[in-house]
């Protein structure tokens, strides 16, 4: 944990908060009540992250219209962005997972790693206040702001342009399932090309899930031999 604290640039007074932030529901369920999952911390961290990013963009970009502010914030706090943060922190190695989730490759699952980032931010906030959480958000997320302001890539448009190189191509996005409570819903979408699945993705909104599915489809279709 000391290595993770060094990467965060923050030392916890209450180490149990960090342990809680790294405990996935699969592990908590197997503990039969001894451990609490990080879902509540994730809920809090999502709001903290959104508020800090929105406050920063509002104060530092007075000329940006609401639409651009919204798109930039979305690009900075989306699952894809948080997975990058998790990779930089090496967060997957510290997660407490249940046996089934471990065997199923949970340490590399984007949604689990993104949720853990939010949970860690909430743990820092509860332990050291908003200033400490803001420093971490500044270091790992707002430092990529310039890339976000260049307008986040529209994967759906890019996929459409890719498949239209040949005539008669038909793309269709299909909502596969929804998981989680209303306040923390996660959507899973599949994109089909001419009736065959070419990509799947998940997100906290249908639009984000479609973008992630399109991104996966592009990566697959651009592989040599496909």
Residues with catalytic roles: 46, 118
Residues 22 and 122: their CA atoms lie apart, in Å, by: 11
Structure tokens at 77: 């706090």
For residue 190, what are the β-bridge partners? 174, 200
Confirm whether residue 102 is marked as ligand binding: no
DSSP, collapsed to helix, strand or coil, labels residue 131 as helix
Q: How far apart are the first and last CA of the chain?
A: 43
42 φ/ψ angles, rounded to the nearest 5 degrees: -60, -45
DSSP code of residue 22: T
- Which whole-number Å values give the CA distances from 103 to 33, 42, 99, 108, 197, in the listed order? 22, 23, 6, 11, 25
Confirm whether residue 66 is marked as ligand binding: no
Structure tokens at 204: 């906290």
Confirm whether residue 182 is marked as ligand binding: no
Q: Using alpha carbons only, how large is the chain's radius of gyration in Å?
A: 19
Structure tokens at 170: 């038909």
Q: Which residues are annotated as a binding site for Mg(2+)?
A: 42, 115, 118
Q: Which residues are annotated as a binding site?
A: 42, 115, 118
């Amino acid at each position: 944990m000391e290595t993770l604290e060094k990467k965060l640039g923050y030392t916890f007074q209450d180490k149990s908060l960090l342990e809680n932030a790294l405990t996935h529901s699969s592990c908590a369920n197997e503990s039969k009540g001894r451990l609490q999952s990080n879902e509540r911390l994730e809920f809090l961290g999502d709001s903290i992250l959104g508020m800090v990013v929105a406050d920063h963009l509002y104060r530092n970009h007075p000329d940006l219209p609401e639409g651009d502010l919204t798109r930039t914030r979305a690009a900075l706090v989306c699952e894809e962005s948080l997975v990058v943060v998790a990779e930089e922190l090496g967060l997957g190695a510290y997660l407490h997972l249940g046996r089934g989730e471990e065997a199923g490759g949970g340490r590399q699952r984007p949604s689990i790693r993104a949720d853990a980032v939010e949970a860690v931010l909430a743990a820092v906030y509860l332990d050291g206040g908003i200033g400490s959480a803001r420093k971490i958000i500044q270091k790992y997320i707002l430092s990529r702001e310039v890339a976000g302001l260049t307008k986040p890539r529209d994967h759906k448009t890019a996929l459409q342009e890719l498949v239209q190189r040949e005539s008669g191509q038909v793309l269709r996005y299909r909502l596969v399932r929804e998981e989680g409570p209303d306040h923390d819903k996660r959507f899973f979408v599949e994109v089909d090309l001419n009736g065959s699945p070419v990509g799947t993705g998940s997100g906290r909104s249908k639009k984000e899930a479609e973008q992630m599915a399109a991104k996966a489809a592009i990566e697959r279709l651009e592989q040599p031999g496909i």
